[in-house]
Amino acid sequence: MTRPGYPLGSGLPGPASKVPFVGIDPEYVEEQVKCQAACPAHTDARRYIWLIAEGRFDEAYALNKIYNVFPAVLGRVCTRPCEDACRRADDDDPVSIRALKRAAADFRSERWRHMMPNRQPSNGMSVGIVGSGPAGLGAAQDLALLGYDVVVYEAMSVPGGMLVAGIPAYRLPREIVEEEIRDLYDYGVEIRCGVKVGTDVQVSELLQRHDAVLLAAGCQKPVRLNVPGEELQGVFPGLWFMEKVNLGDNAPEEARAHGGSLDLAGKRVAVIGGGFTAVDCVRSAVRLGASEVKMVYRRGMDEMPSSPEEIHEAQQEGVELILLASPVKVLGDASGRARALRCVRNRLGAPDASGRRRPEAIEGSEFEVEADIVIAAVSQEPDLSWIDVPIEVTRWGTIRIDQSTGITSHPGLFAAGDIALGAANVIEAVADAHKAAEGIHRYLGGAESPPKWLEAKALPGYTRDMVDYETPREDQPVIALADRSSFEAEVELGYSKETAVSQARRCYFCHIQVSQTENPCVLCGACVEVCPKDTIDLVRPDGTIVRPDELMIPRAGQPGDKKLPAIAPAERASIVIDDDGCIRCGLCAAYCPTKTLVLKEYIVRPQPDLEVKVL
């Protein structure tokens, strides 16, 4: 990256000046940084990618830690909505934002700890949190930093919730989860495992014990198939199967009783569903020795909720996909065990409430899939039977909350994560935790978040090395298929440090904008000529757009004698740039002879301070 060393963001060295803006406000800048706008937790991806591009992995990790609590975890399992929104994808492939998050974790030293916020002095108030999954622990970090005494109650023998109970170790090694949870102890968070709220202690007791209580127990009840034969031996829910796979004898009672056998050697396994849990089930079945593993999904490949990479790896491991098919009955043998799954072929109709096309059964298309084991991984929902105080519930069976604060209908009682959202993913749970923590803080008398404001700094001489735009996206390496028999063998290996830096440089850094100074545009057309994306128009004072053949410097292919003389300063022209198409290369400003154009970085404040505090 060729540039004179302008650091980005709060807490990094270098002066910044507040300037008045016309038509630019914090909301506009946030919309332009599409990756951050798409992230449920509003993680400042462009900033940590910039830091990685400079090889500053500690700062990148600390920034991630503030925004989403579990950078090493999310660097492996985030569903990466940021990449779907990435502007680079309009030209080739999105920036590998999730893999770069993991790189920040992989290459950090202990120095990042000295960049984290200091915990505020104790305010004498306490918050009880039910559940130690990503929502519960995300809120615990925020509240502890604000000076609250935080106690987390976890029913399982280990903390982590679905991070350890739902996701297999070959995708998310347990030491990674344990390490990032241990960091919370530095802020004084107390986690009490083996405490089942509703049995060992009641919610009503917690409300008396603490100044506020947050329910973050997730979705613990599998959704049934509701087809004949579901009661046969060999049919069990994917949620409980994965809990048994991941926790063994430490799995919850329901999983131990109804999660099925883990002795799948020689068995034919059919898994119903197309989400992450379904893919985890089929890949786990392969590792447990199943002779055949098939995944039955009612829509097509493009509609599958799981990621293309996970599906590809499942297929590489021998899983067969049966798409556009729905189960209608589980068939049993004379002993009452499952022997096959009867399905019907589907076609896709009009979109449903999820935005995906609705599967419609094709009459007369029934067929059978031979299976000794049938695992239903279609969804899960909250179990609220353990809550002993009156609360309002939605028609989907989730806890009704105020969407801006997370508070329930019961005073002092809040909810976050799956128990309020329905089955969600890790980054959505973390985002909901931030909202609930802020709601609790305000409920207990804390100040509201300060308003946003915009800061700008000119970047004179800023240009990009064009090789950054030519670098293709690189997939993370994976281990060989022959090495995947163990659950402990992580499949994705992550980038090398050099690859991470190179991949980070693919980012367009969309917070940078081309601005027009008071220097007059003389319609020379140099900016139009050098722009590699054809995103610039020159507009005369009367509003007409200057044609390419009218410029002093004609576009390539235009007659060389078609030049427009420079206009007087009083007739100043405007330069209109398509922000969506601009790749922030800086060539237009570099070649502007009158210095009419300049690149500026626009920073929405306040932002986390990454200055080293103690060494």
Contact 49, 103 (CB under 8 A): no
DSSP for residue 318 = T
**Which of 235, 262, 266, 233 is closest to 247 using CA atoms?**
262
Residues 349-358, mean pLDDT to the nearest whole number: 84
CATH of the domain at 211: 3.50.50.60
**Burial (CB count within 10 angstroms: exposed 0-12, middle 13-18, buried 19+), residue 363:** exposed
Same domain for 293 and 206, yes or no, is no
Same domain for 238 and 284, yes or no, is yes
**Which of 146, 116, 118 is closest to 440 using CA atoms?**
146
Handedness of CA 199, 201, 207, 213 (dihedral sign): negative
* For residue 222, pLDDT beyond 80: yes
Residues 373-400, mean pLDDT to the nearest whole number: 94
Residues 238-264, mean pLDDT to the nearest whole number: 90
* For residue 25, pLDDT beyond 50: yes
State residue 571's pLDDT score. 54
What is the domain extent for residue 534? 518-595
* Confidence grade of residue 32 (pLDDT, cut at 50, 70, 90): confident
Share of the chain above pLDDT 90, in %: 69
**Which of 151, 270, 155 is closest to 220 using CA atoms?**
155
State residue 21's pLDDT score. 35
**For 599, phi and psi rounded to 5 degrees?**
-90, 140
What's the mean pLDDT when you consider all of the chain?
89
Is 9 inside any structural domain? no
Contact 47, 8 (CB under 8 A): yes
Same domain for 274 and 330, yes or no, is yes
Same domain for 412 and 555, yes or no, is no
Same domain for 190 and 284, yes or no, is no
Same domain for 150 and 103, yes or no, is no
73-104 tens-digit pLDDT: 999 999 999 999 999 999 999 999 999 999 99
Model pTM score = 0.88
Same domain for 228 and 330, yes or no, is yes
Is 546 inside any structural domain? yes
* Confidence grade of residue 608 (pLDDT, cut at 50, 70, 90): confident
35-87 tens-digit pLDDT: 999 999 999 999 999 999 999 999 999 999 999 999 999 999 999 999 999 99
Please give the angle made by the CA atoms of 268, 274 and 279, to the nearest 5 degrees.
60
Is 609 inside any structural domain? no
* For residue 330, pLDDT beyond 90: yes
| Domain final residue, candidates 504, 529, 554 | 504
State residue 566's pLDDT score. 45
Is 451 inside any structural domain? no
Is 13 inside any structural domain? no
| Count of the separate structural domains present in the chain | 4
Same domain for 226 and 370, yes or no, is yes
Question: Is residue 374 within a helix (H) or strand (E), and if so which, with residue range?
Answer: strand 373-376
Same domain for 234 and 333, yes or no, is yes
Partner residues linked to 295 by β-bridges: 271, 321
* For residue 463, pLDDT beyond 50: yes
Instruction: Return the half-sphere exposure (C-beta side, CA atoms, 13 A cut-off) of residue 506.
Output: 23
Is 372 inside any structural domain? yes
CATH of the domain at 540: 3.30.70
Query: Which two three-digit tokens encode residue 445?
Result: 């008398």
Is 584 inside any structural domain? yes
Pairing, β 380-381 against β 221-222: antiparallel
109-118 tens-digit pLDDT: 999 999 999 9
- For 178, the 3-state DSSP assignment is helix
State residue 8's pLDDT score. 27
- For 428, the 3-state DSSP assignment is helix
Is 457 inside any structural domain? no
Helix axes 174-185, 134-145, angle to 10 degrees: 30
Same domain for 105 and 146, yes or no, is no
Edge to edge, the sheet with strand 235-237 lists 235-237, 373-376, 268-272, 292-296, 320-322
Residues 224-251, mean pLDDT to the nearest whole number: 93
Same domain for 322 and 203, yes or no, is no
Lowest mean pLDDT among 301-315, 414-428, 448-462: 448-462
Same domain for 260 and 311, yes or no, is yes
* For residue 127, pLDDT beyond 70: yes
State residue 529's pLDDT score. 87
